Amino acid sequence: MTFNDKIDEWIKEAETRPASALMILKLVANRLRDLTERNEGLLAENIALQDGTRVQDYQKRIVHLERQLEMLKRQVGDGASLAALPLEIEVPNLLVYNAQGQVFRFALGDNLKTLGRLRGELVSDGEFPRLLAVPAHEELLFLFTSGRVSTLRVDEIPLSEGDSFTWEQAAQPDEPHAGALLASLVPLSRLPLADFFLQASRRGFVKKTLTSLAQSILDNHYLGRGTTQKADQPFDALLCQKGERYAIVTHEGRLLGFDVDDLTYSADERIRLSATDYVIAAFAVQPGQTILFVTQNGKVIQRDAVFLEATKSPSSRGQVLISPSRLEQGARFIGAAALKDTDKVVALDAEGQLTVYEAGEAASAGTLQAGAAILSIGVIPAKAQSVTSNQ
C-alpha cells in the first residue's frame, strides 16, 4: 500500500471514529518525519556526488583495499592466523635506525656472524639505535613521537655495504618534523588480518586502536601519541589479533603481561614505574615461544611463555625479573623479545659492533659473548618459520 492510499484510509478512519483522529495525526507526522530525513539524506548524497566528495571517498577506499590486497599477496600460507603467517625471508634484512630517522639496511646471510661496525656517536637524543629484522618486501610504518606516521617499503631503503659505517652514510626516508623523534618502525604486511594496533609509551601507557581505522590513519598520517603525559613519549607499536597476549618489559626488570582483549581504546597507565624506570621492550607472545631478556652487560635470562602472567589491574608493579641486590649492583635491562630457539639474536654493543648469535645457544650459555656493553638487540626469525610481528 502506497503512502497516498494510507492517507485516504486514515481520513476515512477519522471520519468514522473522530476519537482516533489524534492517533492518526501522530502516525502521519511520524511518517512525514521519516520521509523528510530520507529526502535530506538523498539530497546530501546527491550534492556529494555532484561536487566529487563521494567519488573521492570511494577512490580512497579503493586505494586502501588495493593496499591491503597487495599486503596479503606478499604473505605465504593459508592466512588462518596472524601468528601463523610465515615471513618467507629468503634474504632477511636488518634495519638499524636512530631517533633522527636515519636508517641502515643490511642483507643477512645464513652464516653471517658480524655485520660491521657503526662509528661515531651512537646515542641520539638520549635514545640508543633500534634493530628490526624484516623481509625486503615488507612495508613499514614510521611512527614519530608526535603521533605522525608515514609508510615506506623496505626495499626502497638503500642497502649498506662494507664493514664500517657512520650515520652520515645512512638513509633518511622521512626526517622528523618540528622537534619530534622517530619512535618506532612497524611492519605492516599483516595489517589485513590484524584486529588492533597496540601502542606502548616509555612510561608504561598502553593503548589499542582498531585496524578498521587504518584507512583514516594512513590517509591522515596520524596514529596518535598513545599517552596522556606531556613528559612521556611513544616507544613502540605493533599489530595483533584478538586473544593474543601482550608484554612490556622495563629497564629495571619489571615484566607485565596483558590479554589483548582486556586492553582499552584509551591510553591508560598500565604499570607503576619509579622515576628512573622506563619501558625498553613491548611485544606479543605466542604459545610455544620463550621470552629472552638481555641486560646491559650481555647477561641473558630466558623464560617460557607460560611465565608471563596476565593482569587486569589498571596499574600494576608487574613481575620481578631480578633481585633488589642485583639492581643495587647496577644490573639493568636493555632489551627483550619473544622468540623460538631456532631464531637468531643480533646485538649492537657500545663499540658499535653488530653481532649475530644463535638464540638457543645464547640462552643456554646465559650470556651474549660481546666485547662491550650491549645497547640494543633484535630478533632474526628462522627461515620457513611462523613468527609474530614483535620487535
3-class SS of residue 138? coil
More confidently predicted of 254 and 49: 254
**Helices (H) then strands (E): counts for the chain:** 6, 22
Beta-carbon contacts of residue 310 (< 8 Å; ≥ 6 apart) = 245, 257, 258, 259, 262
The CATH class given to the 93-380 domain equals mainly beta
More confidently predicted of 144 and 192: 144
pLDDT at position 379 over 90: yes
How far, in Å, CA of 91 to CA of 67, rounded?
A: 23
Least confident of 158-162, 185-189, 276-280, 386-390: 386-390
pLDDT digits (tens, 9 = 90+) for 234-243: 999 999 999 9
pLDDT of residue 58: 54
pLDDT of residue 184: 97
pLDDT at position 165 over 50: yes
- Residue-wise over 72-84: b if at least 16 C-beta within 10 A, else e? eeebeeeeeebbe
* pLDDT tier, 312 (very low <50, low <70, confident <90, very high otherwise): confident
- Among the residues of the chain, which ranges form H helices? 3-16, 21-51, 53-73, 214-220, 324-328, 359-365
**Residue range 110-121: mean pLDDT, rounded:** 88
Least confident of 43-52, 258-267, 287-296: 43-52
pLDDT digits (tens, 9 = 90+) for 206-221: 999 999 999 999 999 9
Average of per-residue pLDDT values in the chain: 85
How far, in Å, CA of 370 to CA of 356, rounded?
A: 10
More confidently predicted of 84 and 368: 368
CB 258 within 8 A of CB 270: yes
What are the grid coordinates assigned to 239, written together?
Answer: 599489530
pLDDT digits (tens, 9 = 90+) for 298-308: 999 999 988 99
pLDDT of residue 388: 34
How far, in Å, CA of 234 to CA of 201, rounded?
A: 4
Q: Is the pTM of this model over 0.85?
A: no
* pLDDT tier, 19 (very low <50, low <70, confident <90, very high otherwise): confident
